[in-house]
Amino acid sequence: MKYLDEYRDERIARNLAAEIGRRARRPWTLMEICGGQTHTLMRFGIDEVLPPGIEMVHGPGCPVCVTSLETIDKAIAIASRPAAILVSYGDMLRVPGSRTDLFHVKASGGDVRVVYSPVEALKVARAHPNRPVVFFAVGFETTAPANAMAIWQAKREGLANFSMLASHVLVPPAIRALLSSPHNRVQGFIGPGHVCTVMGCREYEQLAREFRVPIVVGGFEPMDLLEAILMLVTQLEQGRAEVENQYVRSVTYEGNRLAQKVLGEVFEVCDRKWRGIGQIPASGLSIRREYADFDADTIFDFEGFTVPEPAECISALVLQGRKKPTDCPVFAARCTPEHPLGAPMVSSEGACAAYYQYRRHMVAGAGAN
């Protein structure tokens, strides 16, 4: 298939891997930021073609994984109200809150509906004018503009029964938090291709300069990742620490100005709790006061609603690239996608689920079932 096969070609992959091997004179530890990139690495077994000195550790870019327990519990609380309709992306339904998940709320009578776009949530709100319709908006900068657009449109239409439980997170503050940690061992980053399609590359330059770390914005196909790794290794061997763009077919330096504009119109930067990691300053987006009528956090009274995130947790270490899923003693034994003990086992973009689904046969000792 055109635009697909050429990015999944064995011969090109082997050539790129061999070139990475020729350039790398020292071992390097690299992190891919996005869960989608982790998924590709695992699904295509890219660790098998990389030279042994290149270690990939997996970043926090899985929206399902980093959404705080508190936010999930709020969504569950809304969905449990008799009149309310909670509208969500499908993979949020399986994420356990502190006591239950949205699938179970749905099974016991809650009105939870799966959509593929926030525009669909608006349709639900129009169809049920007498019921509160809440869209559960999670994700990074990638999904934020469409969600902002939905609120903007709801205000314009005066769609009074529509609101959004927004828990957006931002990538650059997360990279800053990782690099500031005394335990950091990441020497180069594959930047988030779809986030940068929206936001551009500019905001990564400060990080590259300040921490002397190369960042190559990368795509999601096997060739994208191998090429991004090659570009990172080249920079590292040459002692450079710059922002480069591998994903040129989608990402421009400035990003999508229109998307940024609507995002800035509806959302503002706020502190955000990340599941497994904790509070990161200025790392989230919340709904501006001008749009408070559409903010589920305000409309539904969540005053004093706090759910503690456990401090010690292997999923936190996994999300920070400090541990591999397979370092966990319960991986593939007591923690499986049917019975996830941690959020990274829930979403298909979570590092633990990706290892489980595609790679556990390569790991000695991991359970086969």
Q: Which residues ranging from 191 to 250 are in contact with another protein (CB under 8 A)?
A: 194, 222
- Minimum CB distance to another protein smaller for 97 or for 214: 97
- Minimum CB distance to another protein smaller for 135 or for 208: 135
Q: Is 364 in the site for another protein (CB under 8 A)?
A: no
- Minimum CB distance to another protein smaller for 96 or for 172: 96
The residue range among 174-182, 231-239, 251-259, 357-365 that interacts with another protein, by the rule CB under 8 A, is 357-365
- Minimum CB distance to another protein smaller for 221 or for 244: 221
3-class SS of residue 312: coil
Q: In the range 2-31, which residues lie near another protein by CB under 8 A?
A: 4, 8-10, 13-14
Identify the residue among 46, 86, 150, 213 touching another protein (CB under 8 A): 46
Identify the residue among 31, 57, 69, 285 touching another protein (CB under 8 A): 69
- In the complex, the smallest distance separating the C-beta of residue 191 from another protein, rounded to whole angstroms, is 15
Interface mask toward another protein for 246-285; x: CB under 8 A:
-----------------------------xx---------
Identify the residue among 26, 52, 108, 289 touching another protein (CB under 8 A): 108
- Minimum CB distance to another protein smaller for 74 or for 275: 275
Q: Do residues 30 and 186 touch, judged by C-beta distance below 8 A?
A: yes
Supply 90's token pair. 């499908």
Half-sphere exposure of 104 (CA within 13 A, CB side): 10
Supply 315's token pair. 């999923």
Q: In the range 127-156, which residues lie near another protein by CB under 8 A?
A: 138-140, 142-143
Identify the residue among 183, 312, 364, 365 touching another protein (CB under 8 A): 312
Cα distance between residue 183 and residue 7, in whole Å: 35
Q: Is the dihedral of CA 219, 285, 189, 95 positive or negative?
A: negative
Q: In the range 328-347, which residues lie near another protein by CB under 8 A?
A: 328-330, 334-343, 346-347
Supply 244's token pair. 């480069």
Q: Is 71 in the site for another protein (CB under 8 A)?
A: no
Cα distance between residue 254 and residue 128, in whole Å: 40
Q: In the range 72-101, which residues lie near another protein by CB under 8 A?
A: 89-94, 96, 98-101
Helix residue spans in the chain (DSSP H): 10-23, 35-43, 46-49, 63-66, 69-79, 102-107, 118-127, 144-157, 171-180, 193-199, 205-211, 222-237, 257-266, 296-299, 314-319, 351-354
Provide CB contacts within 8 A for 357, sequence distance 6+: 42, 43, 337, 348
- In the complex, the smallest distance separating the C-beta of residue 261 from another protein, rounded to whole angstroms, is 20
The neighbour count for residue 241, using CB atoms within 10 Å, is: 18
- In the complex, the smallest distance separating the C-beta of residue 97 from another protein, rounded to whole angstroms, is 8
- Minimum CB distance to another protein smaller for 10 or for 301: 10
- In the complex, the smallest distance separating the C-beta of residue 289 from another protein, rounded to whole angstroms, is 27
Q: Do residues 154 and 122 touch, judged by C-beta distance below 8 A?
A: yes
- Minimum CB distance to another protein smaller for 214 or for 222: 222
Q: Where are the beta strands (DSSP E) in 228-358?
A: 243-245, 267-274, 278-287
